[in-house]
Structure 1
Amino acid sequence: MTHPERVCVAAIAGSFGVRGEVRLKSFTADPEAVADYAPLTTEDGARSFDLTLGKSIKGAFAARLSGVRTKEEADALKGTRLFALRSKMPDLPDDEFYHADLIGLEVVDTGGTVLGRIRAIHDHGAGDLLEIYGPGLKSTVLVPFTREIVPTVDIAAGRIVADPPEGLF
């Protein structure tokens, strides 16, 4: 499994004000550090933006993106995810991972049975949850991403080993 060359670090939640500023949600551990990784690109790499953070506003920042001058241009970018080059990102400690590296990994139990794949990572304030989908599951399953429940993450092998609570799968 190859590491993507880019990591999703932010998303545009819509426009802010009337002069082309956007509401920017930062996904970096230190939310203000997102500006350090500019220029940021769209997922397809077609557009690149320099970034100037403004004030903090309800779970986001007012931000100015290069080339975005009007409220209409800012509105048109709503929902756009922004990516930084992995080479600009800090190296992580051994027990931390970029979400982009976990999505798509195969999930096996401690007996080697495939449980599914990671679809998404959610954080509702009490720690990360892995959303797992796969064959035989009526719906996705949320598994707490803790060392006890997920003792092994092997990015190179493209899999994690999980020891989920009885009855979860």
Structure 2
Amino acid sequence: MSDLICVGRLAGAFGVRGEVRLKSFCADPEAIADYVPLVTDQGREFRQVVLTGQGSGAYTARIDGITTKEEADALKGVDLFAPRDRLPALPDDEYYHADLIGLAVHDSGGALLGTVRAVLNHGAGDLLEVLPPNGQATVLLPFTLAAVPTVDLAAGRIVADPPEGLFGG
């Protein structure tokens, strides 16, 4: 699925006529409807997404193939992916989360700190969840220019200058 980028998540039914609650992960949240066809990790394809309104933390939408409340509820929590070639190119200092997962994280001296397992955001900026090579508990590294001065996608690595003590050093 490396040619697919997660652009949103279904969040259950809205009403009883098959409308869904839809969380958009796009920089321009309404643009999610422009990136069709959207697919699930199970291979189900949605060729049409029509935003019908905005609720608390999510849009309401009509998606082809979902016509009942039960169908909408059954898809709650399902991620939606768009083909990478349908998405806009990013500036040099921006990255799709999917491109960061799996990258090796080294300190400025070249020592391996771990591997990016996930990119999280709890409201105060992005965090890289890094799994140390010794299998210890993951470490949350702030994804800021100060803490992560270099992201080299071509080389498959990140150079980090983590806050002192973050990786137990």
TM-score class, shorter-chain normalisation, is over 0.9
TM-score (normalizing by structure 1) = 0.94
Q: 2:107 aligns to what?
A: 109
Superposed structure 1 runs of 4+ greater than 6 Å apart: none
- For each residue in 1:1-54, what CA deviation from the matched residue of structure 2 results, as whole angstroms up to 9, or x when unmatched? xx9211100001111110111110000001111111112111243333410111
Choose from 96, 99, 108 the match for 1:98. 96
Write the mapping of 1:129-144 to structure 2, written as runs, cut at 5 A.
129-136=127-134, 138-144=136-142
Q: Distance in 2 between matches of 1:137 and 1:128?
A: 23
Q: Distance in 2 between matches of 1:82 and 1:109?
A: 34
Q: Distance in 2 between matches of 1:134 and 1:16?
A: 41
Give 1:137 shift.
5.2
Q: Distance in 2 between matches of 1:33 and 1:40?
A: 12
Q: Secondary structure at the match of 2:43?
A: coil
Counterpart contact for 2:101–2:118, Cα < 8 Å:
yes
Letter in 1 for 2:161: D
Give 1:139 shift.
1.5
Counterpart contact for 1:129–1:143, Cα < 8 Å:
yes
Q: Distance in 2 between matches of 1:136 and 1:46?
A: 38
1:40 aligns with 2:38: yes
Choose from 25, 28, 46 the match for 2:26. 28
Q: Distance in 2 between matches of 1:156 and 1:4?
A: 15
Write the mapping of 1:68-107 to structure 2, written as runs, cut at 5 A.
68-107=66-105
Q: Distance in 2 between matches of 1:154 and 1:45?
A: 31
Choose from 105, 115, 118 the match for 2:116. 118
Q: Distance in 2 between matches of 1:69 and 1:53?
A: 15
Counterpart contact for 1:49–1:67, Cα < 8 Å:
no
TM-score (normalizing by structure 2) = 0.94
| Gap runs ≥5 in structure 2 | none
Q: Distance in 1 between matches of 2:61 and 2:105?
A: 38
Q: Secondary structure at the match of 1:112?
A: coil
Greater CA deviation, 149-158 or 39-48? 39-48
Identity of aligned residues (%): 62
Q: 1:6 aligns to what?
A: 4
What RMSD, in angstroms, separates the aligned Cα atoms of the two structures? 1.4
